[in-house]
Structure 1
Amino acid sequence: MRRIKNIYNAFCLATLFFASCGNKSHLTIDNYPKSRIIVLTDILNEPDDSQTLVRLLMYSNEVDIEGLIAVSSCHQYKGKNDPNPDRNTVHPDEIKKYVKAYGKVRENLMKHIDGWPTTDYLLSVTGAGPEGFGTRDIGPGLSTSGSAIVCNAIKKQDERPLYVIINGGANCLAQALIDLGQEISRDELDELLKNVRVCDNAGQDNAGAWIAYNFPDLHYKRSSHQVYNFMNQTGPAVWDTTFYPGKAQHLWAAEHIQNNHGVLGAIYPTRMRWKDPTTFSTIEGGGSGNFIGFANRGLYHPEHIEWGGWGGRFKTEKEKNIYANQLKWAEKDLFYSEDEFKPYFMFPEASDNWTDPITGKEYNGIGVPIFRWRRAYQNDFRARMDWCVDDFQTANHNPVAAVNGDKSDGIVYLNAIAGSMVKLDASDSADPDGDELSFRWFYYPEAGTYQGSVQLIRHDNANVKILVPEDAGGKQIHIILEVEDKHPEVPLTAYRRVIIKANNK
């Protein structure tokens, strides 16, 4: 799943050969590169954005961060006149505080895995968006340090898509589009925007609607409900369930993040419920779900939002007027501030049906595409926090999931005849710490275009047989390999997605 230190991971398409029903077929590996990301955050509105920033920094080796921008939102803007002064402006210095703390543990992180950006670099791409609310504070001549960073990233000569993750208001991106429109023609801007993807966390101002209305071809998805399921009370628990979820998650964070895990963990804040300071809230209200998918390229492909993974799952047809539901918590004059930009269109969330393999409990709904992976992504974060203070020999590291001899973290594609038997082999999987491995193969029907039943034989073995249904011709079948090490304290998981294209006989 990850590039453990000294394990080579090429960016290429590789073709391997394997035996299936006595015939030679080819298997193609897509090792796509690190993703470019910009994160817009209304940090200090409440503690969850600061919590999310800690997690992002702990995965900063897995992505190329091209912007960390402090932005306003319906909860935090100049002119709000909130009794909490933090909610009356934007806070780039708060981002810098966390980046500097990360810099103090970076040397130890380098003992475990390569690719961690320097503090100086991260500070160089830290900036601020407009201080005011949404479209009230954008226009020609109103550029900010944050909009300049976004402009530079959009104009950068890089074939990789740029993912703009909005964990706050969208007006910094809107201002960047205005800035670019003053500099280049609309046709040139539209051409640049073909390489931009926007992921909006719930909609926290009206600028997202402005963007979607004025740039209807822009790839823009909005998570209105799924995002809240990253660490909510529904789904698998990785905490002590004798306590209510908020307190239990706080106790988990105190043990595995805040205490004895270095200076970055020490400033991971405690989050209490909004307007209820006596009750613990669940950690990381949702923003982490917008970038965490990039962490495992063997499972998640950000260019296929319908496939799912740690970052959730979305539909591929845009829907009209997906309400920025954070506006319902704002002042009344902001409730319907998107209306002037209707109709606007965005990609909506998708639902999953999932049975927890450990508890046998069945889940169905919009939150499932994220929380079905919770045990894995929480254990992963916990292990990475250990890397801040532990040596390589005393910490745990992710196994390497191999498919038919390929040990990269690429997604696997293969062709098979409908009605045939496909054999897949994960026996070359390995663990850098020498831990014993367990295997599980499962079918992910919502991710593919074939959604009937698929039979997996010996799904809990390194070797699996998959019967491709007779009626699957012309369809895709998604099979997920899950390899977990049997570490006694913090088991870690690696994934590989196998996409079978079924051909007619």
Structure 2
Amino acid sequence: MAAKLGPRLADRPPWTPTPAELWSKVAVGNVDFENDFHADTPGSDLIKKAILDNDTRPLYLEAWGGTNTIARALKSIEDEYNSTSSWSAVQAKVNQKAVIAALGMQDNAYADYIGKSWPKVKLYNMGGGPGCSAVPANAVYCSPEYWTPLKYSHGPLIEARSFFGDGTYHVSEEGITSNGIHNWEPGQAKDMETFRLYNRGDKHQRMEFAGEGDSPTFLFLLNNGLRATQDPSLGSWGGRYKPSDTIPTTYNGQADVNPETGTASSGYASQRWTPEMQNDFAGRIEWGASPAFTDANHNPVVKLANSDLTGKAGKTVEVSAKVTDPDGDNVKLNWSVYTDASTVTSPVAAVQNPTSKTAYVTIPDGAKSAERIVVVLTVTDKGTPALSKYGEVVITVK
């Protein structure tokens, strides 16, 4: 499918991979049994090669079903180098480069081996993820009205995917359980009273929790203008993360305050971005179904004048950006203080001139040295679907 879509994606953003690049990254890992990392596999060899190559950038090792193949790659590195004179250098390289992004500990490989033998390798212990439950106004983005038109008019790949209330029905892989309810039913149930996604015992209908739960590990890395790959506490579509107080190489999800409820949750740290996130997915569907670049909408381009600024307490700081749109669409700008990602303890006044390319942020009189104010510029175009890009500015108090 990627090969078929290749010509249509060739003029999309430069990070769109070619089919050859995708195939070069596909290999079978350790699958003999749960928690298996007893022997090298093509998958573990691929990870090992990537860890040890000369690319000095962080290497994010995503684990959506357990860390056992990652464990095997690290064990192979240890077995090859631990009795050599280069072992210390290899350890330092791995500790600096490898970042495990895991959706929970879905096997025991991290506890049994990685955490003990490689305690300095960073672990992002991720959770939460996309959804529409946190903000009532976002419910449309998880509705049949939103997704069904996309599913049935954009080619066979997306038509084969199950969406919320899309009218499809598939038989469960595991059959009917002892209580008569299917464990997993993608698509719309024929009988809502009998068939549900999970037997949760609550009012939720089937498919009201149908998002892929492991996607925060991938959404975290999307180049949308948020700066989580530089500092995970700055936030991303996959949530916001900080080091554990007891294990500084383990990063855990942080809670953002939901303005609808006044309560904080790590789930809202991802769901606060739901409109932009879901529209972005819809936009990518359009890319694959559009023969020409001009047939689809594309994200605006945001270039900040400065992404890191300083200022003294009581002073006003200017933030600005150059904004363009590749399709020539009109755009809407909004600068806002990201309070949850900020560390100032004094309240920050609303951004002045928030809908213009140049805006102003006043540092509170009570702000202390080294505290920070995080300001997010959200730029959304008037195309269909409306697509967005961010700019994230960190103002550090002098």
Q: Give the TM-score range, shorter chain.
A: 0.7 to 0.9
- Cα offset for 1:296? 2.6
Letter in 1 for 2:231: H
| Rounded Cα–Cα distance in structure 1 between residues aligned with 2:262 and 2:276 | 18
Considering Cα pairs closer than 8 Å and 6+ residues apart, tell me whether 1 or 2 has the greater RCO.
1
Aligned to 1:196: 98
| Rounded Cα–Cα distance in structure 2 between residues aligned with 1:308 and 1:388 | 28
Q: Among the aligned pairs, what percent are the same residue?
A: 26
| Rounded Cα–Cα distance in structure 1 between residues aligned with 2:136 and 2:47 | 37
On the 8 A contact 1:352/1:369 being kept in 2, the answer is yes
Q: Which runs of 5+ in 2 are unaligned?
A: 165-169, 173-181, 186-194, 197-205
2:250 to 326, 346, 349: 346
| Rounded Cα–Cα distance in structure 1 between residues aligned with 2:225 and 2:134 | 26
| Rounded Cα–Cα distance in structure 2 between residues aligned with 1:111 and 1:314 | 34
How many pairs align? Answer: 355
Letter in 1 for 2:125: R
Aligned to 1:401: 302
Give the structure-2-normalised TM-score: 0.81
**Change over 3 Å in CA distance of 1:421–1:232 after alignment to 2:** closer
* Mapping of residues 272-421 of structure 1, within 5 Å: 275=183, 277=185, 278-279=195-196, 280-281=206-207, 282-296=209-223, 298-317=225-244, 319=246, 346-355=250-259, 362=262, 364-390=264-290, 391-404=292-305, 412-421=307-316
SS of the residue corresponding to residue 366 of structure 2 reads helix
Aligned to 1:329: none
- Cα offset for 1:486? 2.1
Q: Which runs of 5+ in 1 are unaligned?
A: 1-100, 321-343, 405-410
When you count strand as a share of all residues, which structure comes out higher? 1
Deviations, residues 201-252 of structure 1 (Å, cap 9, x unaligned): 02211112221232211101212xx33x3136333665548xxx6xx36x64
1:158 to 48, 51, 55: 55
**Change over 3 Å in CA distance of 1:415–1:366 after alignment to 2:** same
1:205 to 96, 107, 112: 107
Aligned to 1:146: 43
SS of the residue corresponding to residue 315 of structure 1 reads strand
Aligned to 2:175: none
1:484 to 371, 380, 397: 380
Deviations, residues 34-83 of structure 1 (Å, cap 9, x unaligned): xxxxxxxxxxxxxxxxxxxxxxxxxxxxxxxxxxxxxxxxxxxxxxxxxx
Aligned to 2:79: 182
Aligned to 2:124: 221
Aligned to 2:326: 432
| Rounded Cα–Cα distance in structure 1 between residues aligned with 2:138 and 2:2 | 25
Aligned to 2:13: 113
On the 8 A contact 2:235/2:269 being kept in 1, the answer is yes
On the 8 A contact 1:454/1:468 being kept in 2, the answer is yes
SS of the residue corresponding to residue 234 of structure 2 reads coil
On the 8 A contact 1:439/1:483 being kept in 2, the answer is yes
On the 8 A contact 1:236/1:371 being kept in 2, the answer is no
Aligned to 2:68: 171
RMSD across aligned C-alpha pairs, in angstroms?
2.6
Aligned to 2:179: none
Aligned to 1:474: 370
SS of the residue corresponding to residue 435 of structure 1 reads coil
Q: Which moved more, 1:294-303 or 1:478-487?
A: 294-303
Deviations, residues 291-347 of structure 1 (Å, cap 9, x unaligned): 113223521231412111212111222557xxxxxxxxxxxxxxxxxxxxxxx9832
| Rounded Cα–Cα distance in structure 2 between residues aligned with 1:199 and 1:205 | 14
Aligned to 1:93: none
Give the structure-1-normalised TM-score: 0.65
On the 8 A contact 2:102/2:125 being kept in 1, the answer is yes
